Amino acid sequence: MKFLMIGMGGTIASVKGSEGYESVLSAEDILKISRIKVEHEIEFLDLMNIDSTLIQPSDWVKLAKEIYKRSSEFDGILVTHGTDTLAYTASMLSFMVRGISIPVVITGSMIPLTERNSDAPLNLLTSIKFLEKGIGGIFVSFNGKIMLGVRTSKVRTMSKDAFESINYPVIAKLENNEIKILHKPNLTISDLTLDTRHEPKVLVLKLIPGLSGDIISKAIEVGYKGIIIEGYGAGGIPYRNSDLLETISEVSTTVPVVMTTQAVYDGVDLMRYKVGRMALRAGIIPAGDMTKEATVTKLMWILGHTRKVEEVRELMRKNIAGELTRVS
C-alpha cells in the first residue's frame, strides 16, 4: 500500500523554544521520531507548519485541493494537525471533498512528540492501522479511537482523550495494536467531488442572560452573512424583557440565523418547549444534532453556494456528509 502524509503543524510537530512550543518538525521528522514501523511506502508533504490557532478558511481550501488532487495516487492519506481547530478542519473537508473512496485520517497530539509520555505515537499508529482498512471518508484519530470527521468535537483542553464522537458511534478502536471496526458509516455514495466555495463571514454568539438584539443587527451591518446562536439546552430564544426574539424575527428573512446548543450531546429540539417553537416562528433554523464545528463549517459552505434564506434552511436541514441525524 502507498500512503501520503501531509504535515500541517500543531503540537505534534512542536518543540520547546524561548517563547513556548512552536511547530517546526516536518511530516517525515514526525514519523521518524515516533519510531513506528511502517511496512508501506509513504510520501511526505509539508503543506504548512503552524499552530492550528492560526488556521484560516483559506487553509481548508488549500488542504482540500491537495487531498482531491492526490487521492488517486494513494491508498490513504494521513494529515497531522494541531488540535485546537482540528475538528473544524475535519468538518469542512467533509463538505469540500465528498465521495472520496480512500481513508483520509486527521490526527495530532496533546503532548509534543519530543516530550516524555507523548500521545503522538499512539495516535499515529491508530491512524496508520486504520488507513490499512481502506474505508473511504474523512476521519479523526485520537486516543486509540477513529471517529467520523464531521461528527468529531474537541471536548477537553488538556486530556489525551481530547476528542469525542458526538451523537454518532465511534467508527473503530485500536485494541492490541490492531484496529477493530465498530461501525461502518452509512455515507451517500457519490463520485469524488471537490467543492471549496464558502463564505467565512459567519458569526457565532453564545446566548447568555441579558444578550440583546443589537449585536445581531450590528454584525449584519458590518457584513456578516450568517449568524449561529449557541442556545441553552434543547434551544429557545428569550422574549421576556429582551428584544432578541424581535430582532431575529426582523432579520431572519434576509440573513440565516441558526440555533445550536451549548450542551455537548443530543442537539437542539425546538419543538420541545414554547420558547423553542417561538424561535422557529421567528425564523430560526435548527442545527439538529450537529456538532458546533459541523454547524459552523456547513453554514460557511452553504453560504458559498446560496444567500437565499429558504435555500440555506433546506440545505442546513439536509444530511450532506453524515453530519446530521435529525432536525426538529
The DSSP code for 72 is: G
User: Residue 328 above 70 pLDDT?
Assistant: no
> Is there a contact between 195 and 98 (Cβ–Cβ < 8 Å)?
yes
Q: Measure CA of the first residue to CA of the last residue in the chain; give whole Å.
A: 44
Residue pLDDT, tens place only, 134-160: 999 999 999 999 999 999 999 999 999
CA nearest to 194, candidates 50, 30, 55, 62: 62
Q: What is the DSSP letter of 110?
A: S
Average pLDDT score over residue span 213-235: 97
* SS3 category, 326: coil
Give the pLDDT confidence of 163-188 residue by residue, as tens digits.
999 999 999 999 999 999 999 988 77
Q: What is the pTM of this model?
A: 0.96
Residue pair 140/293 in contact by the 8 Å Cβ criterion: no
Q: What is the C-alpha to C-alpha distance for residues 299 and 191, in angstroms, rounded to an integer?
A: 23
Alpha carbon of residue 37 to chain centroid: 29
Q: Torsions phi, psi of 124, nearest 5? A: -70, -45
* β partners of residue 260: 230
Question: What is residue 220's three-state secondary structure?
Answer: helix
Residue 81 has pLDDT above 80, yes or no: yes
Q: Coil, strand, or helix at residue 16? A: strand
Q: Please report how many Cα atoms fall inside a 13 Å half-sphere around the Cα of residue 176, on the Cβ side.
A: 1
**What is the dihedral sign for C-alpha 123, 124, 128, 134?**
positive
Please give the sequence-ordered ranges of beta strands (E in DSSP) within 233-272, or none if there are none: 257-261
Residues belonging to the active site: 83
* pLDDT tens readout for residues 286-317: 999 999 999 999 999 999 999 999 999 999 99
Provide φ and ψ at 119, rounded to 5°: -90, 0
Name the more confident of 17 and 281: 281
